[in-house]
Amino acid sequence: MTENKPGAAAALTYDPEKDDAPRVVAAGRGRLAEIIERLARENNVPVYRDERLALTLTGLGAGRQIPPELFQAVAEVIAWVYETEKKAGK
């Protein structure tokens, strides 16, 4: 794996008005991780890199809500996304 290519990637969705917790909507390793990241970038979705968290989320699989033990880590990602979007004027 190079610095530019992810070994694992996961895409999350979260609507606090509808969801009890964030949900994994896509997850994969290797080539699939590269595709997930490329699609995110092409669609102006912020990309947060944390290989360890991505590996954990890929283990959950797509469609699963994150478990309580990952709330803190994912909350930090969500806060980063909100801050990134705020800086970008979104």
Give the chain's domains with CATH numbers.
Answer: 8-87 (3.40.1690.10)
Percent of residues, the chain, with pLDDT higher than 70 = 96
68: DSSP letter: G
| Rounded-to-integer distance, Cα 72 and Cα 78, Å | 10
- pLDDT tens column, 17-57: 999 999 999 999 999 999 999 999 999 999 999 999 999 99
pLDDT tier for residue 65 given thresholds of 50, 70 and 90 = very high
Closest to 48 (Cα-Cα) out of 81, 12, 82: 81
pTM: 0.82
Looking at residue 88, what is its pLDDT? 83
Q: What does each C-alpha distance from 2 to 19, 30, 42, 78 come to in angstroms?
A: 35, 11, 20, 26
Distances (CA, A) of 51 to 20, 41, 47: 25, 17, 12
Q: CA-to-CA distance for 84 and 89, rounded, in angstroms?
A: 9
